[in-house]
Chains A and B, each alone.
Chain A
Amino acid sequence: MPQRVSIFVTCIVDQLFPNAGMAMATVLERLGFSVDFPEAQTCCGQPAFNSGYRDEARTVAEHTLKVLDGADYVVVPSGSCTSMMSHHYEELFAADEPELAAAQRLSPRIYEFSRFLTEVANVEDVGAKFDAIATYHDSCHALRELKIRDAPRRLLAHVRGLELREMDAAEECCGFGGTFSVKFAGVSGGMARTKIESILRTGASTVISIDSSCLMQLQGAISREGLPIRTMHLAEVLASR
Protein backbone atom coordinates (compact mmCIF):
# COMPACT_ATOMS: atom_id res chain seq x y z
CA MET A 1 0.00 0.00 0.00
CA PRO A 2 1.78 3.13 -1.17
CA GLN A 3 2.15 6.02 1.19
CA ARG A 4 0.44 9.20 0.31
CA VAL A 5 2.42 12.38 -0.22
CA SER A 6 1.10 15.83 -1.01
CA ILE A 7 3.01 18.20 -3.22
CA PHE A 8 3.43 21.83 -2.28
CA VAL A 9 4.72 22.95 -5.61
CA THR A 10 5.65 26.59 -4.72
CA CYS A 11 4.48 29.56 -6.73
CA ILE A 12 7.72 29.95 -8.62
CA VAL A 13 7.83 26.32 -9.79
CA ASP A 14 4.15 26.43 -10.68
CA GLN A 15 4.49 29.47 -12.90
CA LEU A 16 8.04 29.45 -14.17
CA PHE A 17 9.58 25.99 -13.78
CA PRO A 18 6.74 23.51 -13.88
CA ASN A 19 8.96 20.74 -15.23
CA ALA A 20 10.74 20.60 -11.89
CA GLY A 21 7.43 19.97 -10.16
CA MET A 22 6.41 17.28 -12.69
CA ALA A 23 9.81 15.63 -12.37
CA MET A 24 9.47 15.54 -8.60
CA ALA A 25 6.03 13.92 -8.89
CA THR A 26 7.42 11.39 -11.38
CA VAL A 27 10.28 10.36 -9.10
CA LEU A 28 7.94 9.97 -6.15
CA GLU A 29 5.49 7.87 -8.13
CA ARG A 30 8.27 5.65 -9.42
CA LEU A 31 9.21 4.99 -5.82
CA GLY A 32 5.69 3.80 -5.14
CA PHE A 33 4.21 6.84 -3.47
CA SER A 34 0.71 7.99 -4.19
CA VAL A 35 1.05 11.69 -5.03
CA ASP A 36 -1.64 14.29 -4.66
CA PHE A 37 -1.70 17.99 -5.36
CA PRO A 38 -3.97 20.03 -3.05
CA GLU A 39 -5.29 22.49 -5.60
CA ALA A 40 -6.11 25.24 -3.16
CA GLN A 41 -2.42 25.92 -2.52
CA THR A 42 -1.06 29.27 -3.54
CA CYS A 43 2.15 30.50 -1.89
CA CYS A 44 3.93 29.93 1.43
CA GLY A 45 3.97 33.66 2.13
CA GLN A 46 7.74 34.04 2.29
CA PRO A 47 7.91 37.14 0.04
CA ALA A 48 5.73 39.06 2.48
CA PHE A 49 7.53 37.73 5.56
CA ASN A 50 10.98 38.54 4.24
CA SER A 51 9.86 41.99 3.22
CA GLY A 52 8.69 42.82 6.73
CA TYR A 53 4.96 42.47 6.07
CA ARG A 54 4.13 40.04 8.85
CA ASP A 55 0.38 40.56 8.89
CA GLU A 56 0.21 39.82 5.20
CA ALA A 57 2.44 36.79 5.70
CA ARG A 58 0.10 35.57 8.41
CA THR A 59 -2.90 35.81 6.13
CA VAL A 60 -1.22 33.66 3.51
CA ALA A 61 0.20 31.27 6.12
CA GLU A 62 -3.24 30.75 7.63
CA HIS A 63 -4.55 29.74 4.21
CA THR A 64 -1.60 27.44 3.50
CA LEU A 65 -1.92 25.76 6.89
CA LYS A 66 -5.57 25.00 6.11
CA VAL A 67 -4.66 23.60 2.70
CA LEU A 68 -1.98 21.30 4.10
CA ASP A 69 -3.69 20.30 7.31
CA GLY A 70 -4.21 16.56 7.46
CA ALA A 71 -1.55 15.70 4.89
CA ASP A 72 0.64 12.80 5.96
CA TYR A 73 3.67 14.16 4.17
CA VAL A 74 4.17 17.35 2.25
CA VAL A 75 7.05 17.40 -0.22
CA VAL A 76 8.43 20.66 -1.57
CA PRO A 77 10.87 21.29 -4.44
CA SER A 78 12.46 24.17 -2.55
CA GLY A 79 14.57 24.63 0.57
CA SER A 80 13.53 28.20 1.24
CA CYS A 81 9.80 27.53 1.00
CA THR A 82 10.17 24.46 3.18
CA SER A 83 12.01 26.37 5.87
CA MET A 84 9.46 29.16 5.74
CA MET A 85 6.76 26.65 6.55
CA SER A 86 8.71 24.39 8.89
CA HIS A 87 10.67 27.03 10.80
CA HIS A 88 9.12 30.46 10.41
CA TYR A 89 5.39 29.80 10.48
CA GLU A 90 5.65 29.28 14.23
CA GLU A 91 7.07 32.80 14.59
CA LEU A 92 3.97 34.28 13.02
CA PHE A 93 1.46 33.06 15.57
CA ALA A 94 1.10 33.71 19.28
CA ALA A 95 0.89 30.94 21.84
CA ASP A 96 -2.89 31.02 22.10
CA GLU A 97 -3.68 30.86 18.44
CA PRO A 98 -4.89 27.62 16.78
CA GLU A 99 -2.65 28.38 13.80
CA LEU A 100 0.38 27.86 16.00
CA ALA A 101 -0.76 24.34 16.76
CA ALA A 102 -1.36 23.77 13.06
CA ALA A 103 2.13 25.03 12.26
CA GLN A 104 3.61 22.76 14.88
CA ARG A 105 1.71 19.83 13.39
CA LEU A 106 2.96 20.65 9.92
CA SER A 107 6.58 21.20 10.80
CA PRO A 108 7.68 17.59 11.26
CA ARG A 109 5.70 16.43 8.22
CA ILE A 110 6.92 18.87 5.61
CA TYR A 111 10.06 17.93 3.71
CA GLU A 112 12.30 19.41 1.11
CA PHE A 113 12.44 16.89 -1.74
CA SER A 114 15.99 15.55 -1.36
CA ARG A 115 15.55 15.10 2.37
CA PHE A 116 12.28 13.26 1.79
CA LEU A 117 14.01 10.84 -0.52
CA THR A 118 16.93 10.08 1.80
CA GLU A 119 15.13 10.18 5.14
CA VAL A 120 11.58 9.00 4.49
CA ALA A 121 11.80 7.02 1.26
CA ASN A 122 15.24 5.87 2.43
CA VAL A 123 16.69 5.79 -1.08
CA GLU A 124 19.80 7.21 -2.64
CA ASP A 125 19.61 5.52 -6.03
CA VAL A 126 16.44 6.38 -7.91
CA GLY A 127 17.64 4.74 -11.11
CA ALA A 128 18.44 7.99 -12.88
CA LYS A 129 20.71 8.49 -15.84
CA PHE A 130 22.02 11.88 -16.93
CA ASP A 131 25.17 12.40 -18.94
CA ALA A 132 26.82 15.62 -17.91
CA ILE A 133 29.62 17.26 -15.99
CA ALA A 134 27.79 19.11 -13.28
CA THR A 135 28.30 21.07 -10.11
CA TYR A 136 25.96 21.45 -7.16
CA HIS A 137 24.94 24.79 -5.67
CA ASP A 138 24.04 24.74 -1.98
CA SER A 139 21.05 27.01 -1.55
CA CYS A 140 21.34 28.96 1.68
CA HIS A 141 18.05 28.14 3.43
CA ALA A 142 18.51 24.45 2.72
CA LEU A 143 22.11 24.48 3.87
CA ARG A 144 21.88 26.63 6.95
CA GLU A 145 18.29 26.41 8.15
CA LEU A 146 17.46 22.86 7.15
CA LYS A 147 21.04 21.55 7.37
CA ILE A 148 20.77 19.88 3.97
CA ARG A 149 24.20 19.34 2.48
CA ASP A 150 24.91 15.67 1.93
CA ALA A 151 21.50 14.36 0.83
CA PRO A 152 21.46 15.96 -2.63
CA ARG A 153 25.07 14.97 -3.23
CA ARG A 154 24.43 11.36 -2.25
CA LEU A 155 21.47 11.24 -4.60
CA LEU A 156 23.51 12.73 -7.43
CA ALA A 157 26.36 10.32 -6.78
CA HIS A 158 24.09 7.51 -7.93
CA VAL A 159 23.05 9.13 -11.19
CA ARG A 160 24.62 7.16 -14.01
CA GLY A 161 26.70 9.20 -16.39
CA LEU A 162 26.85 12.19 -14.11
CA GLU A 163 30.23 13.56 -13.06
CA LEU A 164 29.77 15.86 -10.09
CA ARG A 165 32.51 18.42 -9.43
CA GLU A 166 32.58 20.64 -6.35
CA MET A 167 32.96 24.35 -6.93
CA ASP A 168 35.09 26.34 -4.50
CA ALA A 169 32.20 28.69 -3.74
CA ALA A 170 29.52 26.00 -3.41
CA GLU A 171 28.27 27.40 -0.11
CA GLU A 172 28.28 31.07 -1.11
CA CYS A 173 24.94 32.74 -1.66
CA CYS A 174 23.83 33.12 -5.29
CA GLY A 175 22.46 36.57 -4.47
CA PHE A 176 18.74 35.96 -4.95
CA GLY A 177 17.39 36.60 -1.44
CA GLY A 178 13.86 37.37 -2.68
CA THR A 179 13.21 41.09 -2.98
CA PHE A 180 16.91 41.65 -2.27
CA SER A 181 17.49 40.68 -5.89
CA VAL A 182 15.62 43.76 -7.05
CA LYS A 183 16.11 46.15 -4.14
CA PHE A 184 19.85 45.71 -4.28
CA ALA A 185 20.06 44.59 -7.88
CA GLY A 186 23.67 45.64 -8.40
CA VAL A 187 24.91 43.71 -5.40
CA SER A 188 22.72 40.74 -6.27
CA GLY A 189 24.01 40.70 -9.83
CA GLY A 190 27.58 40.92 -8.56
CA MET A 191 27.00 37.96 -6.29
CA ALA A 192 25.59 35.93 -9.19
CA ARG A 193 28.59 36.73 -11.33
CA THR A 194 31.00 35.71 -8.59
CA LYS A 195 29.15 32.42 -8.31
CA ILE A 196 29.28 31.90 -12.06
CA GLU A 197 33.04 32.46 -12.07
CA SER A 198 33.31 29.66 -9.54
CA ILE A 199 31.13 27.43 -11.71
CA LEU A 200 33.28 28.14 -14.75
CA ARG A 201 36.36 27.09 -12.82
CA THR A 202 34.90 23.60 -12.44
CA GLY A 203 34.43 23.13 -16.18
CA ALA A 204 30.86 21.99 -15.51
CA SER A 205 28.18 22.57 -18.14
CA THR A 206 25.30 22.06 -15.71
CA VAL A 207 24.49 23.60 -12.34
CA ILE A 208 22.12 21.70 -10.09
CA SER A 209 20.22 22.98 -7.10
CA ILE A 210 17.20 22.08 -5.03
CA ASP A 211 15.87 25.63 -5.15
CA SER A 212 14.40 27.13 -8.30
CA SER A 213 14.85 30.66 -7.05
CA CYS A 214 18.62 30.13 -6.99
CA LEU A 215 18.47 28.55 -10.42
CA MET A 216 16.47 31.49 -11.74
CA GLN A 217 19.03 33.94 -10.40
CA LEU A 218 21.98 31.99 -11.81
CA GLN A 219 20.38 31.15 -15.15
CA GLY A 220 19.34 34.76 -15.60
CA ALA A 221 22.93 35.89 -15.18
CA ILE A 222 24.30 33.02 -17.28
CA SER A 223 21.87 33.88 -20.06
CA ARG A 224 22.85 37.53 -19.89
CA GLU A 225 26.50 36.58 -20.32
CA GLY A 226 25.66 34.15 -23.10
CA LEU A 227 27.52 31.29 -21.39
CA PRO A 228 27.06 27.63 -22.38
CA ILE A 229 25.82 26.53 -18.98
CA ARG A 230 22.38 25.24 -18.09
CA THR A 231 20.73 25.06 -14.72
CA MET A 232 18.61 22.16 -13.58
CA HIS A 233 16.58 21.34 -10.56
CA LEU A 234 17.65 18.21 -8.73
CA ALA A 235 14.25 16.67 -9.47
CA GLU A 236 14.76 17.01 -13.20
CA VAL A 237 18.09 15.21 -12.99
CA LEU A 238 16.68 12.47 -10.81
CA ALA A 239 13.75 11.96 -13.16
CA SER A 240 16.04 11.51 -16.16
CA ARG A 241 16.38 8.04 -17.60
Chain B
Amino acid sequence: MIETFYEVMRRQGITRRSFLKFCSLTAASLGLGPSFAPQIAHAMENKPRLPVLWLHGLECTCCSESFIRSAHPLAKDVILSMISLDYDDTIMAAAGHQAEAIIDETIEKYDGQYILACEGNPPLNQEGMSCIIAGRPYLEQLTHAAKHAKAIISWGSCASWGCVQAARPNPTRAVPIHKAPGIPNDTPIIKVPGCPPIAEVMTAVISYIVTFDRFPELDRQGRPKMFYSQRIHDKCYRRPHFDAGQFVESFDDEGARKGYCLYKVGCKGPTTYNACSTVRWNGGLSFPIQAGHPCIGCSEDGFWDKGSFYDRLTNIQGFGVESDADKIGVTAAAVVGAAAVTHAAVSAVKRARHKGDES
Protein backbone atom coordinates (compact mmCIF):
# COMPACT_ATOMS: atom_id res chain seq x y z
CA MET B 1 0.00 0.00 0.00
CA ILE B 2 2.92 2.32 0.58
CA GLU B 3 3.39 4.34 -2.55
CA THR B 4 6.59 5.49 -4.09
CA PHE B 5 7.70 8.92 -5.12
CA TYR B 6 7.36 8.00 -8.80
CA GLU B 7 3.80 6.78 -8.38
CA VAL B 8 2.89 9.99 -6.66
CA MET B 9 4.39 12.06 -9.43
CA ARG B 10 2.63 10.03 -12.10
CA ARG B 11 -0.68 10.54 -10.41
CA GLN B 12 -0.07 14.24 -10.39
CA GLY B 13 -0.09 14.04 -14.13
CA ILE B 14 3.67 14.26 -14.48
CA THR B 15 4.93 12.38 -17.53
CA ARG B 16 7.73 9.85 -17.39
CA ARG B 17 9.78 12.23 -19.49
CA SER B 18 9.32 15.03 -16.94
CA PHE B 19 10.03 12.60 -14.14
CA LEU B 20 13.37 11.65 -15.68
CA LYS B 21 14.17 15.31 -16.20
CA PHE B 22 13.45 15.88 -12.51
CA CYS B 23 15.91 13.08 -11.71
CA SER B 24 18.61 14.69 -13.85
CA LEU B 25 18.05 18.04 -12.16
CA THR B 26 18.19 16.38 -8.76
CA ALA B 27 21.47 14.73 -9.74
CA ALA B 28 22.83 18.09 -10.86
CA SER B 29 21.69 19.88 -7.73
CA LEU B 30 23.48 17.26 -5.66
CA GLY B 31 26.66 17.91 -7.60
CA LEU B 32 26.50 14.51 -9.31
CA GLY B 33 27.03 13.73 -12.94
CA PRO B 34 24.22 12.83 -15.36
CA SER B 35 25.10 9.14 -14.99
CA PHE B 36 23.47 9.23 -11.56
CA ALA B 37 20.06 10.15 -12.94
CA PRO B 38 18.95 6.53 -13.59
CA GLN B 39 19.96 5.60 -10.03
CA ILE B 40 17.80 8.40 -8.68
CA ALA B 41 14.94 7.35 -10.91
CA HIS B 42 15.22 3.77 -9.68
CA ALA B 43 15.13 4.89 -6.07
CA MET B 44 12.16 7.18 -6.62
CA GLU B 45 10.27 4.39 -8.35
CA ASN B 46 10.77 1.74 -5.71
CA LYS B 47 10.98 3.19 -2.22
CA PRO B 48 8.25 3.92 0.33
CA ARG B 49 8.47 7.21 2.07
CA LEU B 50 11.10 7.47 4.80
CA PRO B 51 9.63 8.00 8.28
CA VAL B 52 10.89 11.17 9.95
CA LEU B 53 10.34 12.47 13.47
CA TRP B 54 11.16 16.18 13.53
CA LEU B 55 11.62 17.36 17.13
CA HIS B 56 11.86 20.95 18.32
CA GLY B 57 13.87 22.08 21.35
CA LEU B 58 15.02 25.58 22.27
CA GLU B 59 14.93 27.28 18.91
CA CYS B 60 13.39 30.06 16.88
CA THR B 61 11.89 27.75 14.20
CA CYS B 62 13.96 29.43 11.47
CA CYS B 63 15.07 26.01 10.21
CA SER B 64 11.48 24.89 9.56
CA GLU B 65 10.74 28.25 7.99
CA SER B 66 13.76 27.85 5.75
CA PHE B 67 12.79 24.26 4.86
CA ILE B 68 9.34 25.28 3.60
CA ARG B 69 11.02 27.88 1.35
CA SER B 70 12.82 25.21 -0.68
CA ALA B 71 12.34 25.92 -4.37
CA HIS B 72 13.56 22.55 -5.66
CA PRO B 73 12.18 20.26 -4.56
CA LEU B 74 9.20 22.08 -3.11
CA ALA B 75 8.53 21.32 0.56
CA LYS B 76 5.11 20.06 -0.47
CA ASP B 77 6.68 17.34 -2.59
CA VAL B 78 9.17 16.36 0.11
CA ILE B 79 6.39 16.00 2.68
CA LEU B 80 3.88 14.31 0.40
CA SER B 81 6.22 12.15 -1.58
CA MET B 82 9.72 11.60 -0.19
CA ILE B 83 9.39 11.36 3.55
CA SER B 84 6.63 10.56 5.95
CA LEU B 85 6.78 13.46 8.39
CA ASP B 86 5.03 11.64 11.20
CA TYR B 87 5.89 14.05 14.00
CA ASP B 88 6.61 17.74 13.65
CA ASP B 89 4.87 19.83 16.26
CA THR B 90 5.08 22.93 14.06
CA ILE B 91 2.75 21.59 11.38
CA MET B 92 1.09 18.41 12.66
CA ALA B 93 -2.68 18.29 13.04
CA ALA B 94 -2.69 16.38 16.32
CA ALA B 95 -1.86 17.97 19.67
CA GLY B 96 -1.32 16.86 23.26
CA HIS B 97 -1.34 13.14 23.95
CA GLN B 98 -2.44 12.24 20.42
CA ALA B 99 0.70 13.98 19.19
CA GLU B 100 2.97 12.37 21.75
CA ALA B 101 1.54 8.91 21.01
CA ILE B 102 2.97 9.16 17.51
CA ILE B 103 6.53 8.96 18.79
CA ASP B 104 5.97 5.58 20.40
CA GLU B 105 3.91 4.35 17.46
CA THR B 106 6.76 5.22 15.13
CA ILE B 107 9.34 3.60 17.37
CA GLU B 108 7.25 0.44 17.48
CA LYS B 109 6.65 0.29 13.76
CA TYR B 110 9.99 1.57 12.46
CA ASP B 111 12.48 0.81 15.22
CA GLY B 112 15.93 1.69 13.89
CA GLN B 113 14.47 2.73 10.55
CA TYR B 114 13.39 6.31 10.98
CA ILE B 115 15.32 9.55 10.78
CA LEU B 116 15.33 11.81 13.80
CA ALA B 117 15.48 15.41 12.60
CA CYS B 118 16.40 17.81 15.40
CA GLU B 119 15.74 21.52 15.28
CA GLY B 120 16.88 23.49 18.29
CA ASN B 121 18.61 21.99 21.28
CA PRO B 122 18.02 20.83 24.87
CA PRO B 123 18.78 22.99 27.95
CA LEU B 124 20.33 21.30 30.98
CA ASN B 125 19.82 24.04 33.59
CA GLN B 126 16.51 24.57 35.45
CA GLU B 127 16.23 20.76 35.66
CA GLY B 128 15.91 20.79 31.87
CA MET B 129 12.53 22.45 32.38
CA SER B 130 13.26 25.61 30.42
CA CYS B 131 12.06 23.49 27.52
CA ILE B 132 9.03 21.41 28.47
CA ILE B 133 7.25 18.92 26.22
CA ALA B 134 4.24 17.06 27.60
CA GLY B 135 5.12 18.14 31.13
CA ARG B 136 8.63 16.72 30.97
CA PRO B 137 12.05 18.02 29.92
CA TYR B 138 12.56 18.11 26.16
CA LEU B 139 15.79 16.17 26.77
CA GLU B 140 13.69 13.11 27.68
CA GLN B 141 11.73 13.21 24.43
CA LEU B 142 14.95 13.74 22.49
CA THR B 143 16.93 10.88 24.01
CA HIS B 144 13.96 8.52 23.83
CA ALA B 145 13.53 9.15 20.11
CA ALA B 146 17.30 9.11 19.51
CA LYS B 147 17.77 5.64 20.98
CA HIS B 148 15.64 4.06 18.27
CA ALA B 149 16.62 6.23 15.32
CA LYS B 150 18.57 5.10 12.28
CA ALA B 151 20.34 8.43 12.18
CA ILE B 152 20.04 11.97 13.45
CA ILE B 153 20.00 15.11 11.37
CA SER B 154 21.03 18.16 13.38
CA TRP B 155 19.29 20.97 11.52
CA GLY B 156 20.85 24.37 11.84
CA SER B 157 23.35 25.91 14.19
CA CYS B 158 21.29 25.26 17.36
CA ALA B 159 21.32 21.50 16.93
CA SER B 160 24.81 21.45 15.41
CA TRP B 161 26.69 23.87 17.66
CA GLY B 162 24.37 25.50 20.24
CA CYS B 163 23.76 28.81 18.47
CA VAL B 164 22.27 31.91 20.04
CA GLN B 165 20.90 30.55 23.31
CA ALA B 166 24.27 28.89 23.91
CA ALA B 167 26.12 32.17 23.31
CA ARG B 168 27.88 33.52 26.40
CA PRO B 169 26.81 33.14 29.21
CA ASN B 170 24.41 30.42 28.01
CA PRO B 171 21.89 30.91 30.85
CA THR B 172 19.93 27.73 30.14
CA ARG B 173 23.07 25.67 29.45
CA ALA B 174 21.78 24.70 26.05
CA VAL B 175 23.89 22.02 24.36
CA PRO B 176 24.01 20.79 20.76
CA ILE B 177 22.48 17.40 20.03
CA HIS B 178 25.75 15.48 19.89
CA LYS B 179 26.66 16.77 23.35
CA ALA B 180 23.30 16.04 24.96
CA PRO B 181 23.53 13.39 27.67
CA GLY B 182 21.85 10.16 26.61
CA ILE B 183 22.36 10.39 22.85
CA PRO B 184 23.70 7.00 21.69
CA ASN B 185 27.34 7.13 20.59
CA ASP B 186 26.83 4.86 17.62
CA THR B 187 23.95 6.73 15.96
CA PRO B 188 25.22 8.69 12.96
CA ILE B 189 24.70 12.44 13.29
CA ILE B 190 24.58 14.62 10.19
CA LYS B 191 25.11 18.27 11.00
CA VAL B 192 23.54 20.78 8.64
CA PRO B 193 24.58 24.06 10.26
CA GLY B 194 23.51 27.59 9.41
CA CYS B 195 21.12 30.03 10.99
CA PRO B 196 19.13 28.77 9.26
CA PRO B 197 20.62 26.29 6.77
CA ILE B 198 19.90 27.00 3.09
CA ALA B 199 16.51 25.53 2.18
CA GLU B 200 17.75 23.67 -0.88
CA VAL B 201 20.64 22.25 1.13
CA MET B 202 18.16 20.86 3.66
CA THR B 203 15.98 19.24 1.01
CA ALA B 204 19.05 18.02 -0.89
CA VAL B 205 20.34 16.23 2.22
CA ILE B 206 16.97 14.51 2.56
CA SER B 207 16.71 13.65 -1.14
CA TYR B 208 20.25 12.26 -1.08
CA ILE B 209 19.39 9.92 1.78
CA VAL B 210 16.12 8.83 0.17
CA THR B 211 17.65 8.46 -3.25
CA PHE B 212 20.85 6.60 -2.49
CA ASP B 213 19.75 4.91 0.67
CA ARG B 214 22.91 6.06 2.37
CA PHE B 215 24.15 9.08 4.22
CA PRO B 216 26.17 11.77 2.52
CA GLU B 217 29.91 11.75 3.08
CA LEU B 218 30.73 13.88 6.10
CA ASP B 219 33.73 15.99 7.02
CA ARG B 220 35.55 15.66 10.32
CA GLN B 221 32.97 17.85 12.00
CA GLY B 222 30.06 15.80 10.73
CA ARG B 223 28.84 18.10 7.94
CA PRO B 224 28.00 16.86 4.43
CA LYS B 225 31.12 17.51 2.37
CA MET B 226 29.09 18.32 -0.70
CA PHE B 227 27.83 21.55 0.83
CA TYR B 228 30.30 22.45 3.57
CA SER B 229 33.78 21.82 2.20
CA GLN B 230 34.31 25.30 0.79
CA ARG B 231 34.33 28.71 2.35
CA ILE B 232 31.96 31.42 1.20
CA HIS B 233 35.05 33.40 0.19
CA ASP B 234 36.32 30.66 -2.14
CA LYS B 235 33.42 31.02 -4.57
CA CYS B 236 32.25 34.55 -3.83
CA TYR B 237 31.37 36.56 -6.93
CA ARG B 238 33.07 39.53 -5.25
CA ARG B 239 36.33 37.62 -4.83
CA PRO B 240 38.00 39.38 -7.79
CA HIS B 241 37.55 42.68 -5.93
CA PHE B 242 39.23 41.19 -2.86
CA ASP B 243 42.11 40.04 -4.99
CA ALA B 244 42.30 43.44 -6.64
CA GLY B 245 42.21 45.24 -3.30
CA GLN B 246 38.87 46.93 -4.00
CA PHE B 247 36.88 47.20 -0.80
CA VAL B 248 33.72 48.68 0.65
CA GLU B 249 35.07 51.11 3.23
CA SER B 250 31.67 52.01 4.70
CA PHE B 251 28.06 51.13 3.91
CA ASP B 252 26.51 52.87 0.93
CA ASP B 253 29.85 54.25 -0.27
CA GLU B 254 30.97 54.09 -3.89
CA GLY B 255 32.44 50.61 -3.35
CA ALA B 256 29.18 49.34 -1.87
CA ARG B 257 27.34 50.50 -4.97
CA LYS B 258 29.89 48.81 -7.22
CA GLY B 259 29.71 45.50 -5.39
CA TYR B 260 33.26 45.60 -4.01
CA CYS B 261 34.53 43.17 -1.39
CA LEU B 262 32.96 43.49 2.09
CA TYR B 263 35.99 42.19 3.96
CA LYS B 264 36.80 45.55 5.58
CA VAL B 265 33.27 45.99 6.97
CA GLY B 266 33.49 42.65 8.73
CA CYS B 267 32.74 39.90 6.20
CA LYS B 268 33.29 36.44 7.71
CA GLY B 269 33.17 34.75 4.31
CA PRO B 270 36.87 33.86 4.51
CA THR B 271 36.34 31.68 7.60
CA THR B 272 32.84 30.37 6.97
CA TYR B 273 32.18 26.96 5.47
CA ASN B 274 28.83 26.97 3.70
CA ALA B 275 27.27 26.88 0.24
CA CYS B 276 25.86 30.44 0.20
CA SER B 277 28.10 31.66 -2.59
CA THR B 278 27.51 28.54 -4.72
CA VAL B 279 23.97 27.26 -4.11
CA ARG B 280 22.82 30.71 -2.91
CA TRP B 281 19.48 31.29 -1.20
CA ASN B 282 15.82 30.88 -2.03
CA GLY B 283 16.12 29.18 -5.38
CA GLY B 284 19.57 30.60 -6.12
CA LEU B 285 18.29 34.16 -6.03
CA SER B 286 20.90 35.87 -3.86
CA PHE B 287 23.00 35.57 -0.71
CA PRO B 288 23.95 38.03 2.02
CA ILE B 289 27.04 39.39 0.28
CA GLN B 290 25.14 39.96 -2.97
CA ALA B 291 22.61 42.00 -0.98
CA GLY B 292 25.43 44.13 0.39
CA HIS B 293 25.82 42.80 3.93
CA PRO B 294 28.94 41.06 5.16
CA CYS B 295 28.63 37.35 5.95
CA ILE B 296 28.15 36.95 9.72
CA GLY B 297 29.42 33.36 9.66
CA CYS B 298 26.18 31.81 10.86
CA SER B 299 27.13 28.23 10.00
CA GLU B 300 30.27 28.29 12.13
CA ASP B 301 30.58 26.98 15.68
CA GLY B 302 30.33 29.82 18.22
CA PHE B 303 29.85 32.55 15.62
CA TRP B 304 28.01 34.72 18.14
CA ASP B 305 31.03 34.96 20.39
CA LYS B 306 33.73 36.05 17.93
CA GLY B 307 33.40 39.83 18.26
CA SER B 308 31.20 42.27 16.39
CA PHE B 309 29.86 41.29 12.99
CA TYR B 310 31.32 44.57 11.70
CA ASP B 311 34.85 44.00 13.02
CA ARG B 312 37.37 43.07 10.38
CA LEU B 313 38.53 39.48 10.75
CA THR B 314 42.15 40.50 11.14
CA ASN B 315 44.41 43.20 9.89
CA ILE B 316 46.31 42.11 6.87
CA GLN B 317 49.02 44.68 6.22
CA GLY B 318 50.68 45.67 3.05
CA PHE B 319 48.43 44.70 0.22
CA GLY B 320 46.60 46.80 -2.22
CA VAL B 321 45.88 47.24 -5.87
CA GLU B 322 49.57 47.18 -6.75
CA SER B 323 50.17 43.75 -5.22
CA ASP B 324 50.16 40.47 -7.03
CA ALA B 325 46.63 39.10 -6.92
CA ASP B 326 47.64 35.52 -6.20
CA LYS B 327 49.88 36.60 -3.39
CA ILE B 328 47.08 38.56 -1.76
CA GLY B 329 44.67 35.66 -2.06
CA VAL B 330 47.07 33.16 -0.53
CA THR B 331 48.14 35.50 2.26
CA ALA B 332 44.61 36.42 3.16
CA ALA B 333 43.36 32.88 3.05
CA ALA B 334 46.21 31.62 5.23
CA VAL B 335 45.75 34.35 7.82
CA VAL B 336 42.03 34.03 8.14
CA GLY B 337 42.33 30.25 7.94
CA ALA B 338 44.51 30.33 11.03
CA ALA B 339 41.77 32.26 12.77
CA ALA B 340 39.40 29.37 12.32
CA VAL B 341 40.19 27.18 15.27
CA THR B 342 39.04 23.90 13.88
CA HIS B 343 40.57 23.94 10.47
CA ALA B 344 44.06 23.35 9.26
CA ALA B 345 44.42 26.40 7.13
CA VAL B 346 46.87 25.17 4.56
CA SER B 347 45.15 21.93 3.74
CA ALA B 348 41.80 23.64 3.68
CA VAL B 349 43.11 26.17 1.22
CA LYS B 350 44.63 23.47 -0.92
CA ARG B 351 41.53 21.37 -0.84
CA ALA B 352 39.35 24.32 -1.65
CA ARG B 353 41.56 25.34 -4.51
CA HIS B 354 41.75 21.81 -5.86
CA LYS B 355 37.97 21.56 -5.85
CA GLY B 356 37.72 24.95 -7.39
CA ASP B 357 39.77 23.70 -10.34
CA GLU B 358 37.41 20.84 -10.94
CA SER B 359 34.26 22.80 -11.25
Query: Does A associate with B in a complex?
Result: no
